Structure 1
């Protein structure tokens, strides 16, 4: 199910899409979580950093404490996060790499 939630909905085959929708229909918390995850993914892939504050506010208004710690991290380093969600160029290949 996690894999289904992390994919673009149009990339799911009919069976997987139907199963995901069936599961989400049974749990409003999972449905809201899937919505927030999809919204964040769209922000990342579309380079829409200007949407970050609205996304954080929507997550914080929702009763999903699992995402609240994630938004706290985003808020702590907001400027870098906005740049990462806005700029085409990044240091992705070297992120976390350490040269000795």
Structure 2
């Protein structure tokens, strides 16, 4: 069904190709040159959503390139924040801060 849709709609084919290239750049942590070419292709393309996304990447270019080229990331910190947020949501309206503090510290 996807092949048939892509055959009949050239914009969909272009968007699938661009999205697949971007996913490959992220997964394989490819260099800056491929990302620059991708953003140029996305901004030149006919899809306003991908043009806007590429423009947003250009606005935060230093952070985007650091995320693709440096070996450090904030994954562990985000995991802890996610866990604490889940605990807060579970305890909302049930207990005060002292019990939440105990639960966060004991869960570590």
For structure 2, the residue ranges without an aligned partner over 5 or more in a row are 85-108
After TM superposition, give the deviation of residue 93 of structure 1 in Å: 4.1
* Higher Rg of the two aligned structures: 2
77, 82, 85: which one aligns with 1:94: 77
Which structure has the highest helix share of the two?
2
Hey, what's the Cα distance between the residues in 2 that align with 1:89 and 1:25? 41
Partner of 1:65: 48
> Number of residues paired by the alignment?
82
- Structure 1 unaligned segments of length 5 or more: list them: 1-18
Structure 2 equivalent of residue 45 of structure 1: 27
Q: Do the aligned residues in 2 keep the contact of 1:59 with 1:68 (CA within 8 Å)?
A: yes
Give CA deviations for 1:10-49 in whole Å, capped at 9, x if unaligned.
xxxxxxxxx2212111110000000110000000001013
Q: Does 1:55 align with 2:45?
A: no
* Distance in 1 (alpha carbons) for counterparts of 2:9 and 2:27: 27
Q: If the length of structure 2 is used for normalisation, what is the TM-score?
A: 0.65
Higher relative contact order (CA 8 A, sep 6+): 1
Give the TM-score taking structure 1 as reference length: 0.70
Find runs of 4+ consecutive structure 1 residues off by over 6 angstroms: none
